[in-house]
Structure formats: structure tokens, C-alpha cells
Amino acid sequence: MANLQIGGIDCRDLAAVSGTPLLVYDESKIEQQLAAAIQGFQSEHFETEVVYAAKAFSCKAIFRKIQEAGAGLDVVSGGELYCAKEAGVDMKRIYFHGNNKSDEEISMALELGCGTIVLDNRMECRRLCQLAEEHKKNIQVLLRVNPGVEAHTHEYIRTSGADSKFGISIEKKEEIRQLLQPALDSKYVEFKGFHSHIGSQITETEGFSAALEIMIRFIREMKDIYKIEAKHLSIGGGFGIKYTASDKPIPLGDMAGMLARICEERMAAEGIDLEKLLIEPGRSIVGEAGYALYTVGFGKDTDTKHFLFVDGGMSDNIRPALYQAEYSCDIATRLGEKKDRTYCIAGKNCESGDILIKEAELPSSAAEGDLLVIYAAGAYGYSMASNYNRAGRPEVVFAKDGKARRVLRRETYQDQLRLEADEQLTI
């Protein structure tokens, strides 16, 4: 029987030092995905930029790695922006997204010298122009529009429909002109172009191809009708990864190259020139590089199921409960053993829906004390982790070439109480 190796280190050694639940990233895989995206996303006709979507997984260590690779950073909150600042990220390479940025967040972005704010709606555009005037700070902006392309994903992660909470419909051209007018009139705000995003965990090119065709035609129409010239276009992210055997994603570098070629073709067809095209991969950079290690606890057989309970659950990975997301797994120290039983992998949180994998094929010898690994756990697990049931967030380790480093320590009970207070308020 073989033991799982991550970054050249036996999983048992990682668990012995750091405990479980434990999230381990193969650092080389992150670097390979970043390099593939950057190398694939090239054009002789316009500048390109790969922008990492921080919401997939954020900490100072990953932000520094993004900067070292020469990629930009997409943040969606003041917290992510602050983390980027503390990590020493070049603020000019940051794109600040979100549908309801607070005055505090916008002011923070302006004062820190954030490169670009992605506008979501009319109220935000007006507010940004006012705050830029007050702070006497220059800022570039993109406007998020919805091309109306429905990606084949879970309804909660579709982002481009007519009723999406994000952006403005591409059909509302006059409203878009009115929305942008304060920015076009401002001496501090510089309009650069448009942004779109059609969904997440997309494993085919058809949706992106359709969105690009629609967006480039739209850019030409806005120029022809309203004299509003867009030189930058972001086509978002959402590139899928392999969670289970049924997933057949296109390799990220190949996908990036295809999108650049499609954009070149559509630009030629519409007779427009772009200065810059952007993509925003997040999951596809870190997802498959992440391994979640758990210790198997008790087991239980019901009339129809064989349960294996692990020492984590929805508090460190809510995606199965929230999106019905599917994963694959193994007993990490029994990789060569025959898989002859179907288990339900359940967490320890006090919820019936705390199921990590409904049907997992594992050896029937799986037992208390075994290490269970869930693959492709690097995106949206730690980012969406909580203290539900007063569970602590897991430790996070980067492993590479037989060496490991802790990048996020395990959250203790004391850590959870650090915000407790009993203070009289003066009202």
C-alpha cells in the first residue's frame, strides 16, 4: 500500500506535525497553473493580464506568490484589500470588485492607490466620483455588464442573467451611458472599459466564446452610438477544474490561449482595437493544488448507508451543503487497496446536511484513525470556513520539494474568544 505524497512529503508526517483537519497546498502546482495561464494568455494585438481572484483563497503567502508570478489581483472587500497591502502587493495591479462597496472601502482603495475599481451600478459610480473628488485621488474604472450568457453551473454561481445582483444588463445601453456620465465628466476618474463574468466551474469554451462575441459587438456599438470608447475588457473567470472523474475541464493554459484567439477574431470582425484583455482565474489556480486531510473518527451503519465520520466538515468546507458540490477522496495511507465499499463521508458539525461526500468508494478496511484526503480542496474551502459550533479554522501548509511551511496557523479556542467583550456603550 502506498501513502499519499504532497509536495514530496508523506501525508502522515504532515498530519503528525500540523494535526487535522489540515489543508495542504502543493506549491509547485500553484506555480505551474500561474505560469500556464500567463504563458497561454498572450497576443500580438493587445496587452494581456492574468488577474487572480482572491476570493478563491486569500492569505499573504498566496498574494506574494501571485505578485512574484507577475499577475494582478482581484479583491472584493476591504479585508482582501488590506491583506494585499500587508503582503506588499503592488496596488496598481489590484482590481476592486463588488456590488455594494462601502464609503470606507472606496476611500481605503483611493488612499492606498488601488489601480482599478470595477463599478457595479449607478449609485456606486456617483459615490466613487464624489469620494475621488474629496480625496483628490485618481482611479481607473471598468463597468460590469451582463452579456446575458447563462453558464451551465449551479444557480447560486451564475452571475450573468437578467436578474443577477451583479452589474447592469448589456441591453440597457442608454442607462449605461447615463450611469457612466459622472465618471466621464470627472477629472479624477478615468473610464477604461468593461467587465463581464458569466459563472463558475465552467468546463467548455462555448459560453466564453458567446460572451466575447457579445461584449466586443457591444463595445463597438457604445463607440458608434454614444462615442464612449472602451480600451480594456475583462472577461472574468470561472474556469472549471477536475473535482471528480466526470469533470473534463480544458487545461487553463489552453483555455487562456483560446480566449485570446477568439478575442482577436472578434475584434477583426467588428473593426475595433482593444489595448488590453484580462481574465480572472481563481479556482483554476489553487483548486487542484489543495488537499484536505481529515482523521477518520467513528463509523456507523444504517439500513442503507455506511457512514465514516471525520474531524472536520461544513465548518471548513461548506460547498457540498451550499452548492451540492462533489469531490473525490481516498484513504491517504491505503492508496493501493481495493475500493470495495461505498461510504457516506460526514462531518462532525451538528447539522444533518453536514455531508462532505455522499457516495465515496473506499476500502472496506477503512477505520478509526485513518487519514482521509479530499482532493481539489484548494478553492472556497478556507475562504468560506466558519466557526459554526465553535469549530476552529484549520491550519494551512504549503509543501514543495520535500519541505513544508505553515502559512495559516490553526485557530484555537482562545483565538475565537479574542473579540468577546462586555463594555457599556454610551448612546
Q: Omega into 394 within 30° of 0, i.e. cis?
A: no
To the query of whether residue 59 is one of the catalytic residues in this protein, the response is no
* Long-range pairs, 96-105, Cβ under 8 A, ≥24: 97/144, 97/195, 99/124, 99/165, 99/166, 99/167, 100/124, 102/78, 103/127, 103/131, 104/78, 105/77, 105/78, 105/81
276 membership: H or E segment, kind and range: strand 276-279
Question: Grid coordinates representing 211?
Answer: 460572451
Catalytic residue (choose from 83, 129, 329, 350): 350
- 273-297 burial, b if ≥16 CB within 10 A, otherwise e? ebeebbbbbbbbbbbbbbbbbbbbe
> H helices then E strands: how many in the chain?
12, 20
Backbone angles phi and psi of 228, in degrees to 5: -95, 115
Determine the Cα–Cα distance for residues 271 and 164; give it in Å rounded to an integer. Answer: 30
Residue with cell 487562456: 256
276-279 and 232-234 as β-strands: parallel, antiparallel, unpaired?
Answer: parallel
Residues acting as catalytic residues: 350
